[in-house]
Amino acid sequence: MGKKKIAVVENEVEKKGEAPVEKTEKLAKKRVDSGILHVESTYNNTKLTLNDNKENTLAWSSSGALGFKGAKKGTPFAAAKVGETLALKAQTLGIREVKVIVKGVGSGRESAIRGFISKGINLTTIQDKTAVPHNGPKPPRPRRN
């Protein structure tokens, strides 16, 4: 078999004379001044969700969605990258200040918030809503000899 010819097709959008539409324009439809940032940090992953004041989700990101795999998802570095990417999305929405609600005991709690503020968005409050077990599950029965 010989070499296969690969046909190069130009972008159809350019042929019609229209400008290509970017994904950031979809986010910019809704303009919000303030919002709520939910940080859920576990030992395995860090998830950030940006909501408006009525708890409608505007944007989200996680360390797994950014391409981190395995044990690297739970690191503070991955959490900081998640915070930075979500802050860029928040800037396109016009958000200037956020209230932060943190859940979980993972190592990315603080670094996710630091990554988010590094892009120039103000923090009003930080609230910790980590669940604390009252008594926990029933312990296993003693082993028989």
Average pLDDT, 10 consecutive residues per value, the chain (145 residues): 68 53 56 92 95 93 94 94 94 93 93 93 95 89 91
CATH code of the domain covering residue 103: 3.30.420.80
pLDDT score for 20 = 53
Q: Is residue 86 part of a domain?
A: yes
Full-model pTM: 0.73
Q: What CA–CA distances, in Å, run from 94 to 32, 33, 46, 47, 58?
A: 6, 6, 24, 21, 11
Q: Is residue 133 part of a domain?
A: no
Q: Is residue 112 part of a domain?
A: yes
How many domains does the chain fold into? 1
pLDDT score for 125 = 96
Nearest CA among 83, 132, 85 for reference residue 104: 132
How many Cβ atoms from other residues are within 10 Å of residue 36's Cβ? 20
Q: What is the Cα–Cα distance from 126 to 143, expressed in whole angstroms?
A: 46
Q: Is residue 79 part of a domain?
A: yes
Q: Is residue 25 part of a domain?
A: no
Q: Is residue 54 part of a domain?
A: yes
Nearest CA among 43, 53, 55 for reference residue 109: 43
Specify the amino acid at residue 32.
V
How many Cβ atoms from other residues are within 10 Å of residue 101's Cβ? 17
Q: Is residue 11 part of a domain?
A: no
Q: Which domain holds residue 100?
A: 30-128
pLDDT score for 25 = 53
